């Protein structure tokens, strides 16, 4: 399955989460979004966003100050 990449490096809270939400709205259920961010607040923000929205935070890592989040869009409500 293809993965969409969203680069929000250099953006500060709340922009990374707002942009993530906007992109996820355009994806089909089950599709994956990889988000690249440099704002340390994105760690807690992405966890809370996924918990509250129902999307799955599949992976989270950090390399040289860049945070990498892999999110799977939730299934549409029936």
Model pLDDT for residues 21-68, shown as the tens digit of each residue? 999 999 999 999 999 999 999 999 999 999 999 999 999 999 999 999
Within a domain: 77: no
pLDDT digits (tens, 9 = 90+) for 7-22: 999 999 999 999 999 9
Catalytic one of 13, 15, 36, 70: 13
Residue bearing tokens 């089950």:
30
Any domain includes 63? yes
CATH of the domain at 21: 3.30.110.40
Q: Report the C-alpha gap between 37 and 62 in whole angstroms.
A: 9
Into how many domains does the chain fold? 1
Range of the domain at 34: 3-72
Predicted structure pTM score: 0.93
Query: Is residue 13 annotated as a catalytic residue, yes or no?
Result: yes
């Amino acid at each position: 399955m293809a993965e969409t990449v969203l680069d929000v490096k250099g953006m500060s809270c709340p922009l990374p989460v707002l942009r993530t939400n906007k992109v996820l709205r355009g994806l089909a259920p089950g599709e994956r979004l990889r988000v690249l961010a440099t704002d340390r607040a994105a760690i807690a923000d992405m966890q809370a966003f996924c918990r509250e929205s129902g999307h799955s935070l599949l992976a989270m890592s950090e390399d040289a100050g860049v945070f990498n989040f892999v999110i799977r869009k939730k299934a549409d409500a029936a």
